[in-house]
Amino acid sequence: MMTQPTTTVVTAPGEPGSPRRAARRSTAGEEAKKRLSSPWASFAAVVLAVLWTLPTFGLLVTSFRPEADIKSSGWWTVFTNPSFSLENYRTVLGTETQDGLSKYFINSIAITIPAVIAPILVAALAAYAFAWMNFRGKNILFVAVFALQVVPLQVTLLPLLELWVDLGINRTFWPIWLAHTMFALPLAVFLLHNFMREIPGELIEAARVDGAGHVTIFFRLMVPMLKPALAAFGIYQFLWVWNDLLIGLTFGGQPNVNPLTVALFNLTGTRGTAWHLLSAGAFVSIIVPVVVFVSLQRYFVRGLLAGSVKG
């Protein structure tokens, strides 16, 4: 069901303990670990954590070092010979020149917001129909929408590109918005449908008895109750769109449309060793998803547990 790991992984480490956990006995994992003799377990955990953090840390330190230092010595030498500057960020954001990353930063924002909201709007309607309406061919259509997740992006790119050219909207934001919306729909419909099914049927029935139509139920009942679900899907769609390279590369193609990822990609291609620009540029693009992720991780957990593992 999760065909796009990069987008689906929307969880956060360590959800605040549920009531059951507070009074629980030790879990299987803890049991296994206790027997692994704790000092060694802690040591192994620290080694893994350091291995996983060091590459990012190294580039972060590098981004604050003067260009000449980056070229002549490793980042680890800052501990014995510290020297820092913000020059790389100033250069890469290009506050003085027109060629900096700040333009692409704006592009990324302009791409991401509609590409997150549009699929939610469209999918919420369809998910409601699948969850709470009866019509002929419902099951077949639902399976068909679900099954479309297997279509890899690559299969659609060239025909879509031709379509954008025919419509005269190639190299604008529109192809990118539309493509992200289209590709998000199968998973969005599926996830929102699952959430909607969890709402007790008696609530819907009671509303129906009171004479409420589907449109009223959709707005008065579904939308308020779905807030956590919408947030969960929204966050992961945000990560997917913000971090996407393939669609931006294929349908962007000009500086006023290209997202940050494409700008960074071009930077690696043309100036493979301009590490002062690459390191600062990478962190300009990384900072937004990391902040969103850290501040909204509660919703990631819900999205993952309700939508992904349990299905």
Residues 102-131 within binding reach of other proteins (CB under 8 A): 106-107, 110, 113-114, 117-118, 121-123, 125-126, 128-130
d(CA 188, CA 122): 9
**Smallest separation (angstroms) from other proteins to the CB of 239:** 6
Residue with tokens 């692409």: 104
Of the residues 195, 274, 304, 307, which one makes contact with other proteins according to CB under 8 A: 304
181 near other proteins, judged by CB under 8 A: yes
Residue 75 found at the interface with other proteins (CB under 8 A): yes
Q: Of 225 and 296, which has the nearer Cβ to other proteins? A: 296
With vertex at residue 68, the alpha carbon angle to CA 66 and CA 74, rounded to the nearest 5 degrees, is 85
Provide the CA 109 distance to its chain's centre, in angstroms: 13
Distance, in Å, from the CA atom of 239 to the CA atom of 112, rounded to the nearest integer, reads: 9
Residue 204: CB minimum distance to other proteins, A? 13
In this structure, what token pair is assigned to residue 105? 């930063």
Residues 204-233 that bind other proteins (CB under 8 A): 213-216, 218-219
Amino acid identity, position 72: S
Q: Does 61 bind other proteins (CB under 8 A)?
A: no
Question: Could you tell me the smallest distance in angstroms from the CB atom of residue 69 to other proteins?
Answer: 10
Of the candidate residues 250, 252, 302, 307, the single one contacting other proteins (CB under 8 A): 250
Q: Does the footprint of other proteins cover residue 3 (CB under 8 A)?
A: yes
Q: Hey, what are 213's tokens? A: 């139509």
d(CA 53, CA 74): 17
Is residue 84 within the footprint of other proteins (CB under 8 A)? no
Within residues 135-154, the interface with other proteins by CB under 8 A covers 135, 138, 141, 145, 148-154
Nearer to other proteins, 153 or 207 (CB): 153
Minimum CB separation of residue 248 from other proteins in Å reads: 10
Size of the site for other proteins (CB under 8 A): 135
112 and 238 Cβ atoms separated by less than 8 Å: yes
SS3 85: coil
Q: Give residues 8-47 in contact with other proteins (rule: CB under 8 A).
A: 8-9, 11-15, 21, 24-36, 41-42, 44-45
Beta strands in the chain (DSSP E): none
Do residues 186 and 146 touch, judged by C-beta distance below 8 A? yes
The C-alpha atoms of residue 69 and residue 62 are separated, in whole angstroms, by 9
